[in-house]
Structure 1
Amino acid sequence: MAQISIRNVTKRWGAVTGVKGFDLDIAEGEFLVLLGPSGCGKTTTMRMIAGLEDITEGEIWIGERKVNNLEPKDRDISMVFQSYGLYPNMSVYDNIRFPLKVRKIPKEEHHDRVMKAAEMVELGDFLDRRPAALSGGQRQRVALARAIVREPNAFLMDEPLSNLDAKLRVSTRAQIKNLHHTLKTTTIYVTHDQIEAMTLADRVVVMSQGLVQQVGTPTEIYDAPANTFVAGFIGSPAMNLVEGELKGGVFTAPKMRVEGLPTAHSGAVTLGFRAEDAMVLAPGEPLPEGAAGGTIEAPVYTMELLGEATMIAVRIGEAIASVKAAKDYRAEIGDPAHIGVPASICHLFDQATGERL
């Protein structure tokens, strides 16, 4: 295990900047997730840590070593990619063993280390098979075992679950989390899937257009997004964001009014609230216990049955806002909806900059 320090790292290709001023210390044994949409710079950041991309500016340290000029093989890291990268002519056993041969680990250690890694990812019954005879989930587990067998200072994982179907993603995600709990190896994990980030990470780095937007625990990022980009990226569904005017603690927008907001700020703002925090009320029903806040009065735009709840959406100006109702709630498109929005659940952002107020 090792601490990894990324010190003001920038990557440019001519006039194009892929990553700008990335600065972060990753604790020994931490599971850090780089999260963002395609093209945000998360994979480029990981490739610079791995030594697969040159650094334009800044420094990267793994443990006590500055690794800017070290070859990937000398950085003592293991990588797991979206593509499994297995050797089709080798058995599962030999695929897992291969890194030990390359690194000239004494042969007498090979068998025990391969069996230990295979057992961790439940591959003991498949060691004689070739990759072609395995499912996608099993192949990814071979790739994980091949990374584990080296016992590296750090794991780097680049969207390792992207090629798996939804059910396999859930089970493999659980396996990765359990492996990290067992091995306690420093891990950097790249994904565009915010559910993976929220369930796996000790800390999440949200990126957009090469810049770090926010760093924090999953709870911190969910409960207090730093800006409208983070608010709109995290959550399923994402946070509702409604543009309007704020004056004297009262927010107004088409079909929406919320009172009692604890701020002296005035002017154009974006108000955010999460679908599960608002509530569908009966016509004329007040907020619970006279809580400060307000309502949205708008026709139902769409309705989705989720099993454990019903999701309805309404249009507020240019925004479409989603609200979770009880699982037995039913309405037709166009029916009037009466939605309660307590002031305590609201987030306010500067409309011009998107930054949290």
Structure 2
Amino acid sequence: MASIRLNGITKRWGKVTGVSHFDLEVADQEFIVFLGPSGCGKTTTMRMIAGLEDPSDGDILIGDTRVNNLDPKDRDVAMVFQSYGLYPNLTVYENIRFPLKVRKVDPTTHDDRVRKAADMVELDNLLHRFPRELSGGQRQRVALARAIVREPNVFLMDEPLSNLDAKLRVSTRAKIKHLQHTLKTTTIYVTHDQIEAMTLADRVVVMNKGKLQQLGTPKQIYDTPANTFVASFIGSPAMNLLSGRIEQGHFVAGDARIPAGDIQNEGDITLGFRAEDVEVTLDNDATLVAPVYSVELLGDATLVTLNIDGTLVAAKASKDFEVEMDQQVGFRLAPESCHWFDAHTGHRIDG
């Protein structure tokens, strides 16, 4: 097993910077998820760890070994890609076995290791089939087994579930979580799906434009976002962000006037609040009052959206809550549910 350390990693292509001065320490056996939008640098960072890209600056250490100059095959990492990368002319058994043959592992151990890996991902009754005879979920499990059979120090997974349908993503996600717990292998997982990040990770690395935005447990990322980017990226729906200003201890936006608690900053500020932290009411003495812009039944809740001074803000009511479009509705916010951000930098302000 191995820890991973990235010291000031930077990746440039001419004048374009993909990753900028990136520092990270991944503990032995930890499950880290890189999360961010397309083009944020998460896959490039993973590829540098794997040795598929060379860093322009900085050091990569796996365990105590600096691996910058090591070939991918010498880093003892196994990758699972978005595309399954299976050999169509080989059976499932031979696809799983292939890394052992390439690395010249003792042939007498192959059968036991292949069957053990296949059993972990519930493929033991499909070993005779070819990839064309498998579903997408089964092919992804073959790719997982092929990584497991190597018994590497590090697993690197690049959006492995993105080609699966919603139901398969849920079941395969649970399987990956269980596998990592069973194998206790250091794992870095790349995704743009914040649900995958929140459900899988010990810690989440939120990235944007090649830079680290926040590093923390899923709970820390969700409860105390470091800036408006993280706040707007995490959550379903994302955190509401309402621009306004502080006047005489109150947040003011349009007709809304909300006590700002311990916030002392006079002037422009951004208020954030989660949809589930809001009480939806028909009373006109609520914190925010406006006609209903949209109402959506989600199944377990009803999502009610208002237009406040040109900004759409949403709240979750009970699934039995009924309201008509354009009907006057109020959102009631508790002070402890409010998040405050600098209007210019986007950084979190703690009162």
User: What TM-score results when the alignment is normalised by the length of structure 2?
Assistant: 0.98
Q: Which residue of 2 aligns with 1:37?
A: 37
Q: Which residue of 1 aligns with 2:20?
A: 20
Q: Secondary structure at the match of 1:7?
A: strand
Separation (CA, whole Å) in 1 of partners of 2:24 and 2:189: 15
Q: Which residue of 2 aligns with 1:345?
A: 337
Is 1:336 the counterpart of 2:328? The answer is yes
Separation (CA, whole Å) in 1 of partners of 2:39 and 2:309: 30
Contact 2:246 2:260 survives alignment (8 Å): no
- Within the candidate set 306, 318, 321, 1:326 is matched to 318
Contact 1:147 1:155 survives alignment (8 Å): yes
Q: 1:321: Cα distance to partner?
A: 0.5
Q: Which residue of 2 aligns with 1:192?
A: 192
Q: Which residue of 1 aligns with 2:121?
A: 121
Separation (CA, whole Å) in 2 of partners of 1:32 and 1:247: 42
Q: Deviations over 1:23-51 (max 9, x none)?
A: 01100000000000000000000000000
Farther-moved stretch of structure 1 (324-333 vs 70-79): 324-333
Q: Which residue of 2 aligns with 1:240?
A: 240
Q: Which residue of 1 aligns with 2:262?
A: 262
Q: Secondary structure at the match of 1:34?
A: strand
Q: 1:250: Cα distance to partner?
A: 1.1
Contact 1:255 1:298 survives alignment (8 Å): no
Q: 1:282: Cα distance to partner?
A: 3.0
Q: Which residue of 2 aligns with 1:302?
A: 294
Q: Secondary structure at the match of 1:151?
A: coil
Q: Deviations over 1:142-168 (max 9, x none)?
A: 000000000000000000000000000
AA in 2 matched with 1:321? V
Q: Which residue of 1 aligns with 2:202?
A: 202
Q: 1:211: Cα distance to partner?
A: 0.5
Overall identity of the aligned pairs, in % = 64
AA in 2 matched with 1:313? T
Separation (CA, whole Å) in 2 of partners of 1:311 and 1:254: 22
Q: Which residue of 1 aligns with 2:348?
A: 356
Is 1:279 the counterpart of 2:271? The answer is no
AA in 2 matched with 1:198? M
Is 1:221 the counterpart of 2:221? The answer is yes
AA in 1 matched with 2:276? E
Separation (CA, whole Å) in 2 of partners of 1:354 and 1:187: 31
Separation (CA, whole Å) in 2 of partners of 1:50 and 1:261: 48
Q: Which residue of 1 aligns with 2:166?
A: 166
Separation (CA, whole Å) in 1 of partners of 2:127 and 2:248: 68
Q: Deviations over 1:119-175 (max 9, x none)?
A: 000001100000000000000000000000000000000000000000000000000
Separation (CA, whole Å) in 2 of partners of 1:249 and 1:227: 22
Q: Secondary structure at the match of 1:96?
A: helix
Q: Deviations over 1:95-117 (max 9, x none)?
A: 00000000000011001100110
Separation (CA, whole Å) in 2 of partners of 1:335 and 1:309: 19
Alignment: residue pair count: 349
Q: Which residue of 2 aligns with 1:288?
A: none
Q: Secondary structure at the match of 1:126?
A: coil
Separation (CA, whole Å) in 2 of partners of 1:163 and 1:33: 18
Separation (CA, whole Å) in 2 of partners of 1:222 and 1:237: 12
Q: Secondary structure at the match of 1:125?
A: coil
AA in 1 matched with 2:128? D
Q: Which residue of 2 aligns with 1:88?
A: 88
Q: Deviations over 1:212-243 (max 9, x none)?
A: 00000000000000000000000000000000
Farther-moved stretch of structure 1 (246-255 vs 47-56): 246-255
Change (3 A) 1:282 1:332: closer
Separation (CA, whole Å) in 1 of partners of 2:66 and 2:333: 51
Separation (CA, whole Å) in 1 of partners of 2:250 and 2:240: 18
Contact 1:248 1:264 survives alignment (8 Å): no
Q: 1:260: Cα distance to partner?
A: 4.6
Q: In angstroms, what is the RMSD of aligned CA positions?
A: 0.9
Separation (CA, whole Å) in 2 of partners of 1:220 and 1:253: 28
AA in 2 matched with 1:317? D
Separation (CA, whole Å) in 1 of partners of 2:210 and 2:182: 33
Separation (CA, whole Å) in 2 of partners of 1:303 and 1:349: 28
